[in-house]
Structure 1
Amino acid sequence: MMIDWSRLSRDYPILDGLPATLRERVVERSVTAGERLALQGETPTGMYFVLAGEVRLLRRSSSGRETVMQRVQEGFVAEASLDAPCYHCDLIAGASGKVLVFPRCDFEAALTESREFNQAWIVHLSGELRRARSRNERLACPTAAERIRHAILTEGDGRGLVVGSTRKEWAAELGLTHEALYRALRRLRETGAIHEDGGWIEWLAD
């Protein structure tokens, strides 16, 4: 199937500056929920861009505990793998959808050859760095309630947050067990600190 670059460039500005040589090498593929696109320890051979669905970076501790390091529903995922000798996390489809797969060597060449694409990539990575810093700040919060508050106020619209995943999945993003998240949410509801309406959580305490 032909890739509609005109539409993609309009919907995703970072793709507008892709050199023609790189566009010719891109493959669009469907993924199914739970599919493993790459495993920890494998050598990266491509760069993934999520068009629909969801892809997650999942890290497991020696005790088997899972932490979601990145969750992407639109855009590039696992950017750090571009210059890494191996993946440090599993790359898993959290929901069925579509991704673009850029061959790693061609992607690297495009960054060297196209100043426009290189600049767009730098801007993108700067945004990812800010989000990573915010996430690290959140994980440093000592209590589950503080992590919930931080997520609502920094990831939402300043008043509330639409959680686009299950509570168990959100717990993994917050670095909590799902039991700890459920207990914290219950206490926050009982004290009037939050209001929940489906996937919407509003912070009321401040």
Structure 2
Amino acid sequence: MKPIQAASAWRGISDCRACAIRDLALFADLNEADFASMHAPIDDLDFEAGARLAQEGERATGLFSLRSGMVKLVRSTSDGRERIVRVMRQGDVIGLEALVHGKFETDAVALTASSVCRIPLDILQTLGAQSPRLHQSLMKKWSHNQREAEDWLADLNFGSARQRVCNCILKMRSPTDRDLVTLFSREDMGSMLDLKMETVSREVSALVREQVLQPLDKQGRAYRILQPAGLVT
């Protein structure tokens, strides 16, 4: 995907006050006076599955508030491997660490087609200093991100291969329909679960044979959960 230049990206087409997910988003606690002090525009951007929103170590000019879709956060290990540290969903904020370090600490890659609001750092820095509500919201989001990342890795690196795969499936359920699940590639799942790709494929195939899962596409990404109890090992 062609990189988006900041100078052309800030088109200012977002209306945060009328946002359909405002109650979930970063600006949920702002009032009219707060919005009136926002001078830099906020941009709406769409990314196809597989597109990169941010790169580890890259200087950040803004954060991403996820309106729809799912984005995986990937970090490189000291031996050059890539590990998925969390999946971001609707209402999550990507890149909060840039408020402190000025850089992204992970790659952010769209797992599905995703829509985001890209918010310039100077908006957040200014409002964070002026608005106790936004400052508190930022701290809550930051704490939530850290806790989710820690829980994600802890839950997915415990137990047998079957337990790890089942835990991953449960975590990847749709927030709007708990019977639907979108999975990573088998290679990504293996990296995340510390399992061989062949082991992941074998366990998912076994769940399909046992009619715990029903495939919904040819790519092996979308499934319907037919027996939720079969995923609790």
TM-score w.r.t. length of structure 1: 0.76
Q: Secondary structure at the match of 2:44?
A: strand
Written as runs of structure 1 = structure 2, the 5 A alignment for 1:66-81 is 66-75=82-91, 76-81=93-98
1:47 to 63, 68, 78: 63
Mapped partners of 1:96, 1:154: distance in 2: 19
- Report the alpha carbon displacement of residue 195 of structure 1 after superposing the two structures with TM: 1.0
Whose relative contact order is higher, 1 or 2, with alpha carbons under 8 Å and at least 6 apart?
1
Give how far 1:155 is off. Answer: 6.3
In structure 1, distance between residues paired with 2:95 and 2:229 = 31
Matches of 1:185 and 1:87, distance apart in 2: 33
TM-score normalised by structure 2 residue count: 0.69
CA distance in 2, matches of 1:56, 1:122: 22
Query: Per residue, is there more helix in 1 or in 2?
Result: 1
Q: Say whether the 8 Å CA contact 2:29–2:134 is kept in structure 1.
A: yes
Paired residues of 2:69 and 2:89 also in contact (CA < 8 A): yes
Q: Which runs of 5+ in 2 are unaligned?
A: 1-11, 216-222
**Which residue of 1 is the match for residue 121 of structure 2?**
104
Q: Is the aligned partner of 1:7 residue 2:18? A: yes
The aligned counterpart of 1:33 is 49
Q: Does 1:143 align with 2:143?
A: no
1:129 aligned onto 2:146? yes
Contact persistence 1:30–1:97 (CA under 8 A): yes
Identify if the C-alpha distance between structure 1 residues 97 and 106 changes in structure 2 by more than 3 Å, giving closer, same or farther: same
**Equivalence for 1:163:** 181
The structure in which a higher percent of residues are strand is 1
Unaligned runs of 5+ in 1: none
RMSD of Structure 2 on Structure 1 (CA): 3.2
What fraction of aligned residue pairs are identical, expressed as a percent? Answer: 21
Q: 1:108 to 1:173 in 2, by over 3 A?
A: farther
Provide the secondary structure at the position in 2 that maps to 1:48.
Answer: strand
In the alignment, structure 1 residue 183 sits paired with structure 2 residue 202? yes
